[in-house]
Each structure stands twice: as C-alpha cells, then as structure tokens.
C-alpha cells in the first residue's frame, strides 16, 4: 500500500521546491534561486530571522538514484539581543543546507524513517524543516553584540563601555560613615 502523507504540500508555498522540471536521471541538475519571505518563529529564543524578512535561496537540486539532493545556501537577516548587555543585534547569516529527499517507494523510502531522510511528495519538496534545523544550528544560543562584550555593571546597569575605567561602587557604607563621624567627635 503506498504511503500517503497526512497533509499534501502547497506547490506555491515559499519553501516548497518543485522537482517536476528535474529529469529523474542521476546527475541531472537544476538551480533554484529565489527570494522568499521567512516563516514565523525561525530561530531561537534570543535571536531569530524576523517573520517575513527576505530569505535568499541559492540552491542546487540534483537527481540521485534514490531521490533529489538539495544543497546550497540560504541567506537572511537575524535580529536579537546581546545576552550580556541587551543591546540589539542585527546581522545576516548564511546557512548551508545539504539534504536528501527520497522518491516515494525508493529503497531509501522503505528503509528509513521520515525524520531521518526527507520525502518527495507529489514531486514537491518541503524545505522548511531542514531550513529550521540548519538555522537553529547556525545561530548562537548565547548571542553577543561582540565577542568580548563586557556586559553591564551589576550595580548601576550601565554598559562597561560607557563607564570610566576606575568605575566602582565601593563607597563607604553609610553605617560605617556615621561611625567614623562618631570617632571623630570623641577625639
Ligand atoms: Zn553586549
Ligand atoms: Zn556601576
């Protein structure tokens, strides 16, 4: 009995690749260059690709005996917050993708689980799960505005960059201050 995917893919979805124009002859190649809007929640807690931002797909689809190998890069902007000083972080990432998608009823289809190797459904490839995995692997779990960000002074919350080198809060405790006053009057 042929395996049916519970939900069929929308060929017009931004991250769905159409393989119908790719000959099923190992070695056949197609390039796929397109700018698509980023899906929601693409990233990790402190840093992510804003929803709807331009994702630049520069991909190569190659026929192999068991399916289609998708490789290339996806470039997009990321925004987040420095884990030490909370300053905004804004840069662009290049994510490398290399993923095999098996033809239905190929040996790979029969011998692997769907979460190990992607599947081609109705000649379409859903790139989104692989993209999500790749982005999460690329983004830092602890983003910093710069490698050596010194963070904030824990006492006053001002960035160490904006404080003088001798900045400190080691003032005399008011109780000790009054005690030293007392000592002085006794003298
Ligand atoms: Zn910082
Ligand atoms: Zn301070």
Ligand nearest to the CA of 171: 2
Q: Is the dihedral of CA 87, 92, 98, 101 positive or negative?
A: positive
In this structure, what token pair is assigned to residue 116?
A: 């190990």
Q: How far is the CA of 161 from the centre of ligand 2 (A)?
A: 11
Q: How far is the CA of 93 from the centre of ligand 1 (A)?
A: 18
Q: State yes or no: pLDDT of 186 exceeds 80.
A: no
> pLDDT digit string (tens) for 76-118?
999 999 999 999 999 999 999 999 999 988 888 888 887 788 8
Q: How far is the CA of 106 from the centre of ligand 1 (A)?
A: 50
Residue 47, number of CB atoms within 10 A of its CB: 22
Q: How far apart are CA 14 and CA 74, in angstroms?
A: 13
Rounded to whole angstroms, what are the CA distances from 71 to 6, 62, 130, 168?
26, 8, 11, 53
Q: How far is the CA of 79 from the centre of ligand 1 (A)?
A: 13
DSSP string covering 125-168, please?
Answer: EE-HHHHHHHHHHHS-SS--SSTT---B-TTT--BGGGS-TT--
* Reported confidence tier of residue 1, pLDDT bands at 50, 70, 90: very low
Ligand nearest to the CA of 155: 2
Q: DSSP class of residue 187?
A: -
Ligand nearest to the CA of 157: 2
Q: What is the pLDDT of residue 175?
A: 64
Q: How far is the CA of 176 from the centre of ligand 1 (A)?
A: 36
Q: Closest Cα partner for 140 from 108, 93, 75?
A: 93
> pLDDT digit string (tens) for 133-149?
999 999 998 999 999 99
């Amino acid at each position: 009995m042929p395996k049916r995917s519970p939900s069929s893919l929308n060929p017009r979805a931004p991250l769905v690749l159409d393989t119908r124009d790719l000959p099923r002859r190992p070695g056949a190649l197609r390039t796929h260059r397109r700018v698509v809007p980023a899906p929601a929640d693409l990233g990790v807690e402190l840093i992510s690709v804003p929803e709807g931002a331009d994702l630049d797909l520069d991909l190569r689809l190659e026929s192999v005996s068991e399916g289609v190998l998708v490789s290339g890069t996806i470039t997009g902007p990321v925004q987040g917050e420095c884990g030490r000083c909370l300053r905004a972080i804004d840069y662009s990432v290049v994510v490398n993708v290399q993923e095999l998608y098996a033809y239905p009823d190929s040996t790979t289809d029969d011998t692997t689980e769907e979460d190990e190797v992607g599947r081609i459904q109705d000649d379409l490839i859903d790139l989104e799960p692989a993209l999500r995995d790749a982005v999460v692997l690329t983004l830092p779990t602890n983003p910093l505005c710069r490698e050596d960000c010194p963070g904030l002074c824990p006492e006053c919350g001002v960035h160490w960059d904006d404080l003088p080198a001798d900045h400190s809060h080691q003032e005399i405790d008011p109780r000790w201050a009054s005690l030293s006053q007392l000592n002085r009057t006794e003298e």
